[in-house]
Amino acid sequence: MKYQIGGFSNVLSSVGKNNFSPINPTQVGRVYGVVTTENTPTKEQFDRVGGYDAIGTIFYRDYNQAQDTVGKLDDTFFNECKVAKPLFPQFQYYPILGELVVLFDLPSPATQISPSSTETYYLILNLWNNNQQNSQPANDNASLGTTFVENPNIRNLISFQGDNIVQGRQGAALRFSSTTKLYNDLNEWSSVGAEDSPITILTNGFNYISDAKVYVEKINYDSSSIYLTSTQKLPLQTDKSGVLNPLTNPLNPSDYFNSQVILNADRITLNSKKDEVMIFAKTNVEINTKNIINLNANERVHLNTNSVFLGTVNNELPTEPIVLGNRLYTLLDGLLEGLQTFSIALTTTIASPEGTPMIDLNNAAQALSNKLENVEGQIENILSNRNFTA
C-alpha cells in the first residue's frame, strides 16, 4: 500500500537509514502475576518488588520459553519470573494473567549513578483486538486471575472517524466523539448539528445484543450514562409523556438540541458532604414524578417568590387566595367573644315592668354589633396576595 498523505511514503522509504538501534526490540513476555494489592500475587512478592510503590509491576517469563508454562500461585514460581513496570505512569491499566506484553529495557532510577543501569517496562499486546482480554494461556485450564471473570457478552464499541474511546474490560467506556451524519443510522446523536460538533459520553453497563459483533451506546437501554452535548439531539425517554407543564411549556428532553448535560440511570443521588446543593436555571426548573415529591428539612422549608400557586384549573393558574391564619384567628376570636357575651346577657335579662328597656341586653347587642362591624372591615385582610390554590 502506498501512502500519499503528508508525504508519508517518503518517511517509509527512509526506514532503516537512521542509526537508532533499540535494545532487545523484540522482547515479549507472558504475564503470570500482577501487583495490585498487598496480597497479589503473594504477600512475599508484593514486599520483594517494593510494596505499594510497585503497584502494576508484573511477573513474566520470556514468551518463547513459556509457551507451555501454566504458572503457579506460589513464591517459588514467582521467584523464577522476571519483573517489569508499566511504561506509562498516568494509566492504571494492567494485564490479566496470560496476556502478552511488549518489553522495553530503558533507563532505571539508578541511571544517573550508573549510566548502564536499565529497568524493564511493558505495554500490553493487543493480541485479539478485544477490549476485555487478550490472554494467550498455555492451556484451557489456565486462570485469567483470582478475581477476574470473563463476560462472553462484552463487545467492542463502534468507533467513528476521529473518535477517542477509552473502554474498560467489563462494560464501561468513555467516548470523545462528534456528530457523524453519514452514520446517523448507527448512532443516536447525529440527526442534527454540524459534523464537527463534539459530544462526550460516559457509560457504565452496556445493554449488549447477544448476536451483535460490535455495540454503540443507547441512552435508554444502557445501565447508567452521562452525556455532554453541544448541538446533538438525543432520544431520551422519560416517564412523563405529552406536555410537561402547560403553564411553562418546556421543550421535551428528546427535542432539545443545544448544549446540555444528561444524567440517566435507575437512580440519581446528589450529595453534598459539607455545603449546599445549588440548582440554577435561566428560565424554569422542572421536577416531574409519577409518585411523590418529598421536601424534608430538620429546621425549615423556604419558598421565596412573588407568588406561589398550588394546582391548576383547566390548565390555568388558580385564583383562590389562601387565608392568612393569624388574621383569621384574631377576627374569629373577637367574633366568638362578642357572641359569647351576648349569649350570657340573654340568659339573665328580665323585662320588668313591661315595656322597660333591657339595659344589659341592649349593651350586649351594641357590643356585638361593634364586633361585627370590625370583622366586616377586616375580612379582606385575611386573604393572601401571594399564595393561591385550586
Residue 113 CB-density burial (10 A; 0-12 exposed, 13-18 middle, 19+ buried): exposed
Residue type, 124: I
Per-residue pLDDT of the chain (390 residues; tens, 9 = 90+): 333 334 433 333 444 443 434 455 569 999 999 999 999 999 999 999 999 999 999 999 999 888 888 889 899 999 999 999 999 999 999 999 999 999 999 998 888 888 888 899 999 999 999 889 999 988 877 888 888 888 888 889 999 999 999 999 999 999 999 999 988 899 999 999 888 899 999 999 999 888 888 899 999 999 999 999 999 999 999 987 777 788 888 888 899 999 999 999 999 999 999 999 999 999 999 888 889 999 999 999 888 888 888 888 888 888 888 888 888 888 888 877 878 777 777 666 666 666 666 777 777 777 777 777 777 777 778 888 877 776
Mapping DSSP to helix (H, G, I), strand (E, B) and coil, where does residue 342 land?
helix
The residue assigned the cell 414524578 is 289
Q: Is the dihedral of CA 353, 356, 357, 359 positive or negative?
A: negative
Residue type, 221: Y
- For residues 198 and 176, is the Cβ–Cβ distance under 8 A? yes
Domains in the chain: boundaries: 6-124, 151-294, 322-389
C-alpha cell, 56: 502494576
